[in-house]
Structure 1
């Protein structure tokens, strides 16, 4: 088994508690500590050994101190391990049935709102079985409940949790394809292979979801967001499984938050795309022994991937048109072809340097 870590942002109402832990000496900064795949600058604090326990999707107990975050953003096997190793974990009853009901094509907005408000009106019950998560068929995890690191970057605090993870079916890894990924919202991920085959996530949200959300209480809205996240997570896990089973090298966009529109960041965080891109994909590819190269995404969806010199074309939604070669194609497919081209050049440059 290999040790992996996952970084989750803490809610702001946890910040006073953290300041108190620093003053009491329970948190001590360690300037020498480094975390792989960690872009955020700032100081890392090692907590004293305490037995951690998750109390709910939003609350983690460290000794007598409650820390608040979104634990369900962990990859499915790590989330399942965390829940199973937390005997006092509480959840609202009937979550899986509610998730199925909300996807019914005959459900009205009024009935959907009633179901969600009724669910949050019930007291959470002890339930240490993972709900709203698709079982991971390729990896298993054990949560290290005695290890905790907290990170401060500017005005924000992050929680770092550690897990022992291993591949359960490595014989399924064929390692034969190069795959490039284009991230978005519709679809969440569009993947193209070196064999010119395309794989994409399927739509999850419906018009009903957006209509009902504005009618809900804050508690019911959070529950709806949690359920919709689980739909997206299941789609993204299928992409992760496909990559682990078939890829030997993956090319993806190197996304920088400061370069992205705030609306895209918010939407991508809500639907799990940023979690997939910054966390889930990294750990899974590393565990499966698959190479990853990220490239500058600038103009990858606006240049023709077929023409020499790759001139600019015109994009209208999901359609890309090149006035030079007169090709009309799926804009996401065009982007993945450009990402693969750039990624292969960059990867060869690194290999030559090595």
Structure 2
């Protein structure tokens, strides 16, 4: 299966890319359209076709030119495939910092984590193409296709479009299949509930944002490393979230016949905190790109469900419940009972998806 992913290029690369366009190293492709991105499409000139590579989790090379972009923001198979075809890839040994991010971290734990990160970044990065930000290595990495690399200049900035050939999905376990509903959030990244009662959960990720005083404290004599420490913080949180979501998705695919998930609109009306974290943790990409494409590969039907009322409507009583004022993970249902709000929402999503699927099939005459 041939698929593409659009990775955000950081703003500090804008002038570099404009220079590449002016010098003719990036050529416009007016006839090409890229799924999921609007704007002008460019391709590297033919002479650069064999000079494209990832240099680190935050840098991509077009010939001798380095551009800062989020190369880490790929699903596991694609991320591993990109690294293995990038012989000059450099990275720090950061894998030991991933597990703590999936636990409840108090202020002391966050201080220790930041101290360990600062200490690690002061050791020079080394060339290593093993994907250390993937605790579970994919058995079938995707094949990166450098010749299909494109860049998109959109109204919101530049994007790097990378193409991959994903191998046929492996045979899955023989599990009785059922309808699955997925609810997403921040306290818990996602909860998936099967109609037959099976449940999976992707843990929430600790939000660590080093302040200026933190940078001065942990890297007092290395101010040049301050931006790298801030970016690496986000990168590690994204990697921890990717592992949680990949593990959960693997379980869903093994036992789902129909999957429902929320149709979230990441517009101005959404909570700014959720919008920011959904982007940093890849949750938005998971819902909009990664999840539907994986389900398509495995020929599993899916339905995007409007999110209205799914978190407040009690799945047992059918009445509107009330979220706890002291713990948002709890819902007081119409009978005055306390239920898990995330599980309740996931059940609602699954049942609504079943109804919408039935309506869709009826219209199609299936």
TM-score, normalised relative to structure 2: 0.84
Residues 169 and 298 of structure 2 are in contact (CA less than 8 Å); yes or no, is this contact kept in structure 1?
no
Q: Distance in 2 between matches of 1:103 and 1:115?
A: 16
Q: 1:172 to 1:166 in 2, by over 3 A?
A: farther
Q: Distance in 2 between matches of 1:214 and 1:184?
A: 30
Match of 1:285 among 274, 285, 295: 295
Tell me by how many angstroms 1:327 deviates: 4.1
Tell me by how many angstroms 1:153 deviates: 2.4
Q: 1:211 to 1:16 in 2, by over 3 A?
A: closer
TM-score, normalised relative to structure 1: 0.87
Tell me by how many angstroms 1:312 deviates: 2.2
Residues 53 and 85 of structure 2 are in contact (CA less than 8 Å); yes or no, is this contact kept in structure 1?
yes
**1:318 aligned onto 2:329:** yes
SS of 2:147's equivalent in the other structure is strand
Q: 1:31 to 1:187 in 2, by over 3 A?
A: same
Q: Distance in 2 between matches of 1:303 and 1:133?
A: 37
Tell me by how many angstroms 1:69 deviates: 0.9
Please give the residue correspondences for 1:271-350 in structure 2 after superposition, counting only pairs within 5 Å. Answer: 271-307=281-317, 310-316=318-324, 317-323=328-334, 325-350=335-360
2:223 alignment partner in structure 1: none
2:222 alignment partner in structure 1: none
1:129 alignment partner in structure 2: 130
1:182 alignment partner in structure 2: 183
1:223 alignment partner in structure 2: 232
CA deviation map 1:264-288 (0-9, x unaligned): 1111222232232223212221211
Q: Distance in 2 between matches of 1:187 and 1:113?
A: 23
Tell me by how many angstroms 1:102 deviates: 8.0
Q: 1:157 to 1:212 in 2, by over 3 A?
A: closer
Q: 1:18 to 1:222 in 2, by over 3 A?
A: closer
1:42 alignment partner in structure 2: 39
1:7 alignment partner in structure 2: 6
1:236 alignment partner in structure 2: 245
Residues 138 and 168 of structure 1 are in contact (CA less than 8 Å); yes or no, is this contact kept in structure 2?
no
1:62 alignment partner in structure 2: 62
Q: 1:109 to 1:15 in 2, by over 3 A?
A: closer
Provide the aligned C-alpha RMSD in A: 2.8
The answer for unaligned runs of 5 or more in structure 2 is 216-225
Give the aligned length: 345
2:199 alignment partner in structure 1: 198
Q: 1:100 to 1:256 in 2, by over 3 A?
A: closer
Q: Distance in 1 between matches of 2:316 and 2:109?
A: 46
Q: 1:17 to 1:69 in 2, by over 3 A?
A: same
Tell me by how many angstroms 1:340 deviates: 1.8
Tell me by how many angstroms 1:31 deviates: 4.6
Q: Distance in 2 between matches of 1:247 and 1:322?
A: 28
Residues 47 and 149 of structure 1 are in contact (CA less than 8 Å); yes or no, is this contact kept in structure 2?
yes
SS of 1:163's equivalent in the other structure is strand
Q: Distance in 1 between matches of 2:176 and 2:6?
A: 28
Residues 177 and 256 of structure 2 are in contact (CA less than 8 Å); yes or no, is this contact kept in structure 1?
yes
SS of 2:149's equivalent in the other structure is strand
2:266 alignment partner in structure 1: 257
The answer for unaligned runs of 5 or more in structure 1 is none
Q: Distance in 2 between matches of 1:43 and 1:200?
A: 39
Residues 53 and 86 of structure 2 are in contact (CA less than 8 Å); yes or no, is this contact kept in structure 1?
yes
Tell me by how many angstroms 1:179 deviates: 0.7
